[in-house]
Each structure stands twice: as C-alpha cells, then as structure tokens.
Chain A
Amino acid sequence: KAGVTQTPRYLIKTRGQQVTLSCSPISGHRSVSWYQQTPGQGLQFLFEYFSETQRNKGNFPGRFSGRQFSNSRSEMNVSTLELGDSALYLCASSPDRSGRETQYFGPGTRLLVL
C-alpha cells in the first residue's frame, strides 16, 4: 500500500500571501489530521477531518482552514501568511479516529514565509 503523500514538499511564500497544502491518505483511510511542527512549539494539532467533516480542531486562528474531499484527500489552507507560520506541516491518516487507531504520518510540507 502506498503511504501518505503530501504536496508540495517545499514551499516559499511571502507575508500576506496564502497557501494551500495537499494530503492524500493511505487508501481506505477516512481520517486525516493536520499538524504544525516548529522547533519552539513542537508538534501541534491543527484539525482532523473525517468523511468530509471537520471532527476535531486545535487552537489555531481562523486563518488556518481545511477541507476533505469525497475520496478522503484533504487540503489545508493558510491565508494572510505570517513569518511565524514557517514550519513543517504534517498530515496523518488513520482508518478511523476513535482514538485508538494508529496514525500514519506523511513526509510533510516545509513552508518558509519570508
């Protein structure tokens, strides 16, 4: 089975721009979660989608949004980029999200905001 894929792998943007990141989960997985990882804050949960619905969310501002398509692929959008948004963005998929299934992480998208 192919693993979780994320595109693009690297991205450079400037302040004020917006960005869309894509995540394709493992085939058959219906839950996709997004995380931001920075050296200072560690790995922080953004949100989780299941069957095209946002099921859980973390404590990020509304500039961070996402969606999930019927094929379980997910996109994450960040509007009005700030320097502090520079980070590694990881998505993870699991068959379900009852809290007990293993999450499989993708390779991440490294975003640099200048």
Chain B
Amino acid sequence: QKEVEQNSGPLSVPEGAIASLNCTYSDRVSQSFFWYRQYSGKSPELIMSIYSNGDKEDGRFTAQLNKASQYVSLLIRDSQPSDSATYLCAVILNSGGYQKVTFGTGTKLQVIP
C-alpha cells in the first residue's frame, strides 16, 4: 500500500460544478495534511492545510479530514477553468525518527467551460 494515495484522474467537471478530490494515507498517527495545486510547468503552491478532524473552509475551497478513516479530501465549489491543474495531497509521516513529507502522485483536474 502506498503511503499516500490519490486517484490520478483526470477528473473532469463542468464549469460551476463542485470538484471533489480524495486522498488516503497509511500512517494512523499523522497529524498534518496539506493540499497543493500545481499548474503544468510550475511549482506546487499550497492551497490548504488541515490538522483537526472536520471541515476547514477558505473561499471556494473546503478541506475535510477524517483521521479514523485516514482520509482527507478537497472540495472546490463553483469550479473555474483556471482551477484546471494537478492537485497534490501531502502528509507528514513519521519514519525512523524523522518527519517525512510524503506527497501523493496527484489528481489532474480539468474544468470544462
């Protein structure tokens, strides 16, 4: 089992719809979770961080965390063509005494005008 898993997509949604991106992780004791957006040919940029169970909202973005199910998701409301990018889930895992930032392979989102 991969440490952080995401569906690679592409996930296609029409403009104005809700895009739902999912991520599961293997380390039950992980405490820090992040969503990054990466446009083609660009570096990742942080969208949201979440540390506690439940929902965290920031504008059109909502991150949801369920530690019992080892599941974190990102909802994008009123999706825009400019949201078309690869979305990376990142989790801080403890490995051999070190904290290791582990990324999923990303989900490619396409918002169709």
Instruction: Closest B residue to A101 by CB, please name it.
Output: B49
Q: Is the CB of B99 within 8 A of A99?
A: yes
- Residues of A27-69 contacting chain B, CB below 8 A: 33, 35, 41-45, 48, 55-59
Q: Which of B43, B49, B92 contacts A90 (CB 8 A)?
A: B43
Residues A107 and B103 in contact in the complex (CB < 8 Å), given A43-B88, A56-B98, A99-B31: no
Q: How far is the CA of A33 from the CA of B99 in the complex (A)?
A: 12
Bound: A44/B104 CA distance, A = 9
Query: Are B32's CB and A100's CB within 8 A?
Result: yes
Q: How many angstroms from the CA of A48 to the CA of B95 in the assembled complex?
A: 14
Count: A-B pairs, CB below 8 Å = 49
Chain B residues within 8 Å of A99, by CB: 31-32, 92, 99
A103 CB–B CB distance under 8 Å: yes
List of A residues within 8 angstroms of B22 by Cβ: none
A114 to B49, CA, bound (A): 39
- 10 A-B contact pairs sorted by A residue (CB < 8 Å): A42-B104, A42-B106, A43-B88, A44-B103, A55-B98, A56-B98, A59-B100, A100-B49, A105-B45, A107-B42
Name which residue of chain A comes closest to B105, CB basis: A42
Query: Please, how many angstroms separate the alpha-carbon atoms of A57 and B102 in the complex?
Result: 11
Complex contact A102–B103 (CB within 8 A) = no
The residue of chain B having its C-beta at the shortest distance from the C-beta of A58 within the complex is B100
